Amino acid sequence: MKILPGLRPLRAAGWCAACVFTLSSCAPPEPPTPPEPPGSAQLELRIHGAPSELGVSRVIRIEVLGEGLDAGEWLLIEGALSAYHERRLRERSLPDSLLSRVVPSRSWAEEGAVWLAPQRALAAGQRYSVGVLGLGLVQELDVSPAPPELLAAAWPPPGVVGHEQVYCPAGVGLGSGPEALGGALAPGAVPFEVLPGVGDTGLLAGACFTLRAAPREEPSLAPLEIAGHWLEVSELAAALERPTPEPPACPAPLVALGPSCTEVFDRFARVSRVGPPSLWLLERGGEEPELVRPGARWILRGLTPGEALHLGLTALSVGGVAQRYSARIQAAAPLGLPIISEVLANPSGPERAQEWVELLNIGAAEVELEGYTLEDGGGAVVLPAARLLPGEYALLVTEAYDASYPFDVPPAPGTQLIRLPELGKGGLSNAGEPLLLRDPSGRAVSGVPPLKSSKDGQSWVRREPELPDERESFVEHPAPGASPGGPTPSL
């Protein structure tokens, strides 16, 4: 491990419990050092972060104590520095090969010290170099190969800087309340407070807490730790405008549910968010509110066919506005809702013969499949008489399909096999082509977008059965590659 002469090396393990690692106090006694560069003897580095064995944590702040330091000259660089790169650092002339390794960081001067805060988590088990323009390498840091877990914000979503942050750890541990939790954010010593629950709502006070900073002109860094929870790297925005969102105008038969338009079925509703992202708290009767994280699509389950459901919804905006909505959702009478849930176009076995299309009835009523058609770009094939009970799977296969073929995942026991003359024109295309399931009236009831199948024996599957027929709804099947006639493991 390289260090600037006159500085003591950080120990690789046994970090002090306070998580402030001071070179002068954390290192064992050292033999006499060579002559020091001017001013270097006055430097003292402290690494702030979660306690971690065998190195520093993935989220740290570097504090440098010394006289006459320029915050803009301090850098954190991925990896060790070669002699060539050390020289270029001293010469203040960084080549592209070195600039590309500089970790994006915020730096500032405060009360006789310079601070350097990486704006992303460091890589576990990797080495980094602390350097300064005109002086060279100051210290190498090794990140622990097994760093402690860090808590990510439930709100706002990654890549969005909000007015406040919501965290929902497994154990909140807020102590005596928000008055016991506060401090100052860097840079600029901006006061902050921690509120139990989500925003100003007070909801989920036993599961979540909200970090809120005082109004300020520049974004602030979130603290490293709150109530024993070490946090992922994030920023809080400066004061934002806080407009009140308007509910959308939803075309029939969609109904408005807060800032969304909702398509209601018998046992579930398909919710499509409209407008800017927001964090939702959904209340059903006297039940504990449900936290609904941001996303374009969301499935509301647990409807009773033919019955109404009264909901309360609180939507928290990026600007920190909590807007309250109420809605009445009328579930449809029991429906038969067959969907294409999984497709194997590239089997390990013989092409065409071992291909299949999986159907699933996600409705509350059985469905008669006679007269339905499976359609691809080359034509359509009519399904024979077959019944699909609620929650039942079936496989559309050709006459040549062998359920016992040893190199493809076999169907789940008892899976209904519906044999057809062919699956699409010339079989299912590995290059990807749209598939449509139409009811006897010709109405498209389910579909799969063009999806390229490049790996033998691996299917495409819907992430959730109720999701719409969009590319984002489908993923390549995890190991063992397919799950014909049953739910997908680990999804």
Residue 58 covered by a domain:
yes
Instruction: Indicate if 52 and 92 belong to the same structural domain.
Output: yes
Domain total of the chain: 4
Instruction: Indicate if 313 and 379 belong to the same structural domain.
Output: no
- How would residue 218 be classed by pLDDT, with cut points 50, 70 and 90? confident
Lowest mean pLDDT, pick from 88-102, 205-219, 263-277: 205-219
pLDDT at residue 34, as a whole number: 41
pLDDT at residue 215, as a whole number: 78
Q: Is the pLDDT of residue 196 over 60?
A: yes
Residue 173 covered by a domain:
yes
Q: Is the pLDDT of residue 419 over 70?
A: yes
Distance CA 185, CA 165 (A): 13
pLDDT at residue 383, as a whole number: 98
pLDDT at residue 174, as a whole number: 58
Residue 48 covered by a domain:
yes
Residue that terminates a domain, selected from 305, 330, 355: 330
Burial class (CB in 10 A: 0-12, 13-18, 19+), 126: middle
Residue 6 covered by a domain:
no
Q: Is the pLDDT of residue 402 over 60?
A: yes
Residue 244 covered by a domain:
no
Domain with 352 in it: 338-476
Q: Is the pLDDT of residue 314 over 70?
A: yes
Radius of gyration of the chain from Cα atoms? 29
Residue 159 covered by a domain:
no
- What mean pLDDT, rounded, does the chain reach? 86
Distance CA 341, CA 313 (A): 30
- How would residue 71 be classed by pLDDT, with cut points 50, 70 and 90? very high
Distance CA 3, CA 10 (A): 9
Section 443-456 average pLDDT: 95
Instruction: Indicate if 381 and 320 belong to the same structural domain.
Output: no
96 or 187: which carries more pLDDT confidence?
96
Q: Is the pLDDT of residue 242 over 70?
A: no
Residue that terminates a domain, selected from 309, 330, 351: 330
pLDDT at residue 171, as a whole number: 61
Distance CA 57, CA 230 (A): 10
- How would residue 491 be classed by pLDDT, with cut points 50, 70 and 90? low
> What b/e readout covers 235-263, taking b as 16+ CB neighbours within 10 angstroms?
bbbeebeeeebebbebeeebbebbbbbbe
Instruction: Indicate if 178 and 212 belong to the same structural domain.
Output: yes
Query: Any idea what the CATH number is for the domain that residue 409 is in?
Result: 2.60.40
Instruction: Indicate if 411 and 303 belong to the same structural domain.
Output: no
Strands 190-196 and 225-226: unpaired
Instruction: Indicate if 315 and 404 belong to the same structural domain.
Output: no
First to last CA, the chain: 44
Tokens 């660089």 belong to: 77
Residue 241 covered by a domain:
no
Section 369-382 average pLDDT: 93
pLDDT in tens, 22-63: 433 333 334 444 444 444 447 899 999 999 888 999 999 999
Query: Tell me, what amino acid is at 333?
Result: A
Q: Is the pLDDT of residue 216 over 70?
A: yes
Instruction: Indicate if 377 and 419 belong to the same structural domain.
Output: yes
Instruction: Indicate if 344 and 325 belong to the same structural domain.
Output: no
Instruction: Indicate if 216 and 291 belong to the same structural domain.
Output: no
Section 371-393 average pLDDT: 95
Instruction: Indicate if 470 and 345 belong to the same structural domain.
Output: yes
Strands 416-420 and 393-398: parallel
**Tokens encoding 211:** 């970090």
Instruction: Indicate if 264 and 319 belong to the same structural domain.
Output: yes
Residue 14 covered by a domain:
no
Instruction: Indicate if 58 and 84 belong to the same structural domain.
Output: yes
pLDDT in tens, 153-190: 999 988 888 888 999 997 655 544 444 467 788 888 88
Query: Any idea what the CATH number is for the domain that residue 267 is in?
Result: 2.60.40.10
